Amino acid sequence: MRSADEIVEACEQLYDDLDFAQARAWKAAKPGRKVIGFMPVYVPREIIHAAGMLPLGVLGGGDSLEVIHGDAYYQSYICRIPRSTVELAISKRLDFVDGMLFPSICDVIRNLSGMWKMMLPDVYVRYFDVPQNYKDDIGGTYYIEELKELKAGLERLAGREITEDALNASIEVYNENRRAVKRVYDYRAGQPWKAPAWEVYLLMRAGMLLPVEEHTALIDEYLVACAEADRPMRDNCRIIMQGSFCEQPPLALIKSIELSGCYIVDDDYMLVNRWLLEDVPTDGDPIANLAEAFLKHSTETAAKYEPCGERKGKYLVDAVKDRGAEGVIFAAPSFCDPALLDRPMLANALSKASVPHISFKYAENSGQMQPIREQAGTFADTIKLWSEP
Amino acid sequence: MSAEMQDDVIKEPSMLKQKAMIADNYEQLTSAPETGRKVAATYVPGNLNELIMCFDMLNNLPEINAIQNGMRKKSGRMIQDAEKMGHSEDVCTYVKADIGNMAKGAIAPNGKPMPVPDLLLLSYTGCFTFMKWFELLRDEYGCKTAMLHVPYTGDGIITDNMRDYVVKQLKEEVIPAMEEVSGVKFDIDRLRENLKRSAEAEDDFVWVLQSAKSKPSPIDAYFGGVYYIGPIFTAFRGTQDAVDYYKILRGEIEARLANGQGPITPEGELKEERYRLVVEGPPNWTSFRDFWKMFHEEGAVVVASTYTKVGGVYDYDGFRHDPDRPLESLAEYCLGCYTNRNLPARVDMIESYMNDYQADGFLVNSIKSCNSFSAGQLMMMREIETRTGKPAAFIETDLVDPRYFSPANVKNRLESYFQMIEQKRKGGGPAKAA
DSSP class per residue in A310-371: GGTTHHHHHHHHHHT-SEEEEEEETT-HHHHHHHHHHHHHHHHTT--EEEEEE-TT----HH
Residue B429: the pLDDT is 53
B18-63 per-position pLDDT tens digit = 999 999 999 999 999 999 999 999 999 999 999 999 999 999 999 9
> 3-class SS at A126?
strand
DSSP per-residue string spanning A291-321: HHHHHHSB---TTS--S-GGGTTHHHHHHHH
A192 Cβ neighbours under 8 A, 6+ residues apart: A236, A238, A263, A264, A265
| Dihedral of alpha carbons A246, A247, A251, A254, sign | negative
**How distant is the Cα of A44 from the closest Cα of chain B, in angstroms?**
18
Determine, yes or no, domain membership for A134. Answer: yes
pLDDT exceeds 70 at position B232: yes
> 3-class SS at B256?
helix
Q: Do B376 and A114 touch (CB under 8 A)?
A: yes
B73-86 per-position pLDDT tens digit = 999 999 999 999 99
Inter-chain CB pairs, A–B, below 8 Å: 168
User: Which of A142, A294, A350 is the best mutation test for B, with the most CBs of B within 10 A?
Assistant: A142
B243 Cβ neighbours under 8 A, 6+ residues apart: B197, B200, B201, B204
Q: Do B154 and A127 touch (CB under 8 A)?
A: yes
B266-298 per-position pLDDT tens digit = 999 999 999 999 999 999 999 999 999 999 999
Give A388's pLDDT tier (boundaries 50, 70, 90). low
From chain B, pick out residues whose CB is under 8 angstroms from the CB of A361: 88, 90
Q: What amino acid occupies position A148?
A: K
Q: The domain containing residue A91 runs over which residues?
A: 20-162
Q: How far is CA A41 from the centre of its chain?
A: 6
Q: Do A338 and B128 touch (CB under 8 A)?
A: yes
pLDDT exceeds 50 at position B3: no
Using CB atoms, pick whichever of B132, B159, B347 lies closest to residue A341.
B132
| pTM, full prediction | 0.96
State how far the Cα of B361 lies from the Cα of B420, in Å rounded to an integer: 10
**How distant is the Cα of A341 from the closest Cα of chain B, in angstroms?**
6
pLDDT exceeds 50 at position A374: yes
Q: What amino acid occupies position A44?
A: P
User: Which of A41, A71, A77, A358 is the best mutation test for B, with the most CBs of B within 10 A?
Assistant: A77
**How distant is the Cα of A333 from the closest Cα of chain B, in angstroms?**
10
Nearest residue in A to B88, CA atom = A340
Mean predicted confidence (pLDDT) in B377-389 = 98
Q: Do B139 and A107 touch (CB under 8 A)?
A: no
Nearest residue in A to B171, CA atom = A138
Determine, yes or no, domain membership for A187. Answer: no
Determine, yes or no, domain membership for A357. Answer: no
- Hey, is the C-beta of B407 within 8 angstroms of any chain A C-beta? no
From chain B, pick out residues whose CB is under 8 angstroms from the CB of A40: none
DSSP per-residue string spanning B92-152: -HHHHHHHHHHHTT-B-TTSSBPPPPSEEEEEE-S-HHHHHHHHHHHHHH--EEEEEE---
Whether the upstream peptide bond of residue B45 has omega within 30° of 0, thus cis, is no
Using CB atoms, pick whichever of B92, B139, B142 lies closest to residue A348.
B139
**Residue B324: C-alpha distances to residues B33, B125, B172 (Å):** 36, 23, 20
Residue B434: the pLDDT is 54
Length of chain B: 434
Residue B10: the pLDDT is 64
Determine, yes or no, domain membership for A388. Answer: no
Nearest residue in B to A341, CA atom = B132
Q: Give this complex's ipTM.
A: 0.97
User: Which of A151, A295, A305, A346 is the best mutation test for B, with the most CBs of B within 10 A?
Assistant: A305
Domain count across chain A: 1
**How distant is the Cα of B58 from the closest Cα of chain A, in angstroms?**
23
- Hey, is the C-beta of B101 within 8 angstroms of any chain A C-beta? no
Do A109 and A42 contact (CB within 8 A), yes or no?
no
User: Which of A111, A352, A359 is the best mutation test for B, with the most CBs of B within 10 A?
Assistant: A111
Using CB atoms, pick whichever of B136, B345, B371 lies closest to residue A78.
B371
**How distant is the Cα of A283 from the closest Cα of chain B, in angstroms?**
26
- Residue that wins the pLDDT comparison between A89 and B428: A89
Residue B5: the pLDDT is 41
Give A386's pLDDT tier (boundaries 50, 70, 90). confident
- Hey, is the C-beta of B272 within 8 angstroms of any chain A C-beta? no
State how far the Cα of A300 lies from the Cα of A312, in Å rounded to an integer: 9
Using CB atoms, pick whichever of A107, A131, A309 lies closest to residue B139.
A309
pLDDT exceeds 50 at position A368: yes
Residue A199: the pLDDT is 98
pLDDT exceeds 80 at position A305: yes
Mean predicted confidence (pLDDT) in A225-251 = 96
Using CB atoms, pick whichever of A102, A119, A345 lies closest to residue B136.
A345
| Beta-carbon count within 10 A of A321 CB | 10
Residue B11: the pLDDT is 83
- What residues pair up with A35 in beta bridges, in sequence order? A54
- Hey, is the C-beta of B374 within 8 angstroms of any chain A C-beta? yes
Residue B127: the pLDDT is 96
Q: What angle is formed at CA B292 by the lines to CA B432 and CA B427, rounded to 5 degrees? A: 25
Mean predicted confidence (pLDDT) in B335-349 = 98
Q: Given its phi and psi angles, is residue B187 left (phi above 0), alpha (psi -120 to 50 degrees) or beta?
A: beta
Q: How far is CA A237 from the centre of its chain?
A: 24
Q: Rounded to 5 degrees, what are φ and ψ at B382? A: -65, -40
State how far the Cα of B358 lies from the Cα of B346, in Å rounded to an integer: 18
How many helical (H) and strand (E) elements, i.e. helices and strands, does chain B have? 19, 10
Q: What amino acid occupies position B279?
A: V
pLDDT exceeds 50 at position B6: no
| Beta-carbon count within 10 A of B211 CB | 18
Residue B185: the pLDDT is 98
Give the CATH number of the domain where residue A85 resides: 3.40.50.11890
**Residue B9: C-alpha distances to residues A192, B6, B110, B216, B299 (Å):** 68, 6, 20, 21, 18
**How distant is the Cα of B361 from the closest Cα of chain A, in angstroms?**
20
Q: What amino acid occupies position B126?
A: G
B91-148 per-position pLDDT tens digit = 999 999 999 999 999 999 999 999 999 999 999 999 999 999 999 999 988 899 999 9
Length of chain A: 389
Q: Do A342 and B132 touch (CB under 8 A)?
A: yes
Do A106 and A123 contact (CB within 8 A), yes or no?
no
Residue A387: the pLDDT is 74
Nearest residue in A to B82, CA atom = A344
**Residue B403: C-alpha distances to residues B79, B125, B371 (Å):** 10, 28, 18
- Hey, is the C-beta of B98 within 8 angstroms of any chain A C-beta? no
Nearest residue in A to B381, CA atom = A73
Determine, yes or no, domain membership for A108. Answer: yes
pLDDT exceeds 60 at position A73: yes
Do B380 and B350 contact (CB within 8 A), yes or no?
yes
Beta-strand pair B268-269/B264-265: antiparallel
From chain A, pick out residues whose CB is under 8 angstroms from the CB of B169: 133, 138
User: Which of B85, B122, B132 is the best mutation test for A, with the most CBs of A within 10 A?
Assistant: B132
Give A389's pLDDT tier (boundaries 50, 70, 90). low
Give B4's pLDDT tier (boundaries 50, 70, 90). very low
Domain covering B13-186, topology: Rossmann fold (3.40.50)
Largest Cα–Cα distance of chain A, in whole Å?
63
Q: Do A115 and B376 touch (CB under 8 A)?
A: yes
Determine, yes or no, domain membership for A228. Answer: no
List all residues of chain B from 78 to 97 with a beta carbon under 8 Å from chain A: 85-88, 90-92, 95
A191 Cβ neighbours under 8 A, 6+ residues apart: A233
- Hey, is the C-beta of B371 within 8 angstroms of any chain A C-beta? yes
Residue A290: the pLDDT is 98
Do B295 and B272 contact (CB within 8 A), yes or no?
no
From chain B, pick out residues whose CB is under 8 angstroms from the CB of A43: none
**How distant is the Cα of B352 from the closest Cα of chain A, in angstroms?**
17
Residue A1: the pLDDT is 86
> 3-class SS at A102?
strand
- Hey, is the C-beta of B141 within 8 angstroms of any chain A C-beta? no
B172-224 per-position pLDDT tens digit = 999 999 999 999 999 999 999 999 999 999 999 999 999 999 999 999 999 99
Do B108 and B30 contact (CB within 8 A), yes or no?
yes
Q: Rounded to 5 degrees, what are φ and ψ at A388? A: -70, 145
Largest Cα–Cα distance of chain B, in whole Å?
67
Do A177 and A217 contact (CB within 8 A), yes or no?
no
Q: Do B90 and A149 touch (CB under 8 A)?
A: no
User: Which of B81, B90, B175 is the best mutation test for A, with the most CBs of A within 10 A?
Assistant: B90
Do A295 and A140 contact (CB within 8 A), yes or no?
yes
Q: Do B142 and A133 touch (CB under 8 A)?
A: no
- Hey, is the C-beta of B171 within 8 angstroms of any chain A C-beta? no
pLDDT exceeds 50 at position B2: no
CA dihedral B317, B319, B325, B331 (to 10 degrees): 90
From chain B, pick out residues whose CB is under 8 angstroms from the CB of A127: 152, 154-155, 342
Give A364's pLDDT tier (boundaries 50, 70, 90). very high
Determine, yes or no, domain membership for A46. Answer: yes
Give B9's pLDDT tier (boundaries 50, 70, 90). low
Using CB atoms, pick whichever of B91, B133, B342 lies closest to residue A340.
B91
A187 Cβ neighbours under 8 A, 6+ residues apart: A194, A195, A223, A226
Q: Do B168 and A141 touch (CB under 8 A)?
A: yes
Q: Do B149 and A335 touch (CB under 8 A)?
A: no
